[in-house]
Amino acid sequence: MAEPYLTLANGSAIPQLAFGLYMVPADDEGVKIILEAIKAGYRHFDTASYYGNEATLGTALKQSGIPREEFFICSKVWNDAQKEGREAVKH
């Protein structure tokens, strides 16, 4: 059975099921966890700057050998960064 997708207003399709990265460590073990999720078929990842593991996700995506275009990344911005403005959100 194929994974269900959702169509966004701009026509892009994203996997309905996301692998949440809350509590995934920001180290080599975290990279291994994410690579196992990729191996299991996940292509949608949900993270947040607050989790501190966004770079870990990036490392795992690179190591997977799968083109970045095949992944959908959702990262939430904490309120303090939003209050600091656009430049703070870019980091």
Give whole-number Cα distances, 83 to 38, 47, 53, in Å: 34, 20, 22
Active-site choice (5, 42, 50, 51): 51
Yes or no: say if 58 and 90 are a contact pair by the CB < 8 Å rule: no
The total number of residues written for the chain in this structure: 91
Residue 50 among the catalytic residues: no
Residue 91, SS3 per DSSP: coil
Yes or no: say if 73 and 14 are a contact pair by the CB < 8 Å rule: no
Q: What residues are annotated to the active site?
A: 51
